[in-house]
Structure 1
Amino acid sequence: MLPGNPRLISLPTAAQLRSTTYFPELLKRSHPDQFRPAPYA
């Protein structure tokens, strides 16, 4: 395991957290009647 691994793991995780918060909001506003929670949420 390389010492840089934790950082490589943390960055995608932070991006995913943003996506789970932001992306569903986009879907709600774009298609409120077709809104479904993201599969990874």
Structure 2
Amino acid sequence: MCGQFVELCRRLKLFTRAIVAIDGSKFKAVNNRDKNFTVA
């Protein structure tokens, strides 16, 4: 999504020079053994 936003801004000529954007999102994983493990 971030990449698409940057591309839109470039097309609208909202950037006047090179810009670097870093997405710092962090998500907690919910993947415990009881939910992803089967005997088979």
Taking structure 2 as the reference length, what is the TM-score of the superposition? 0.33
Q: Greater helix percent: which structure?
A: 1
Q: Which has the larger radius of gyration?
A: 2
Question: How does the TM-score come out when normalised to structure 1?
Answer: 0.32
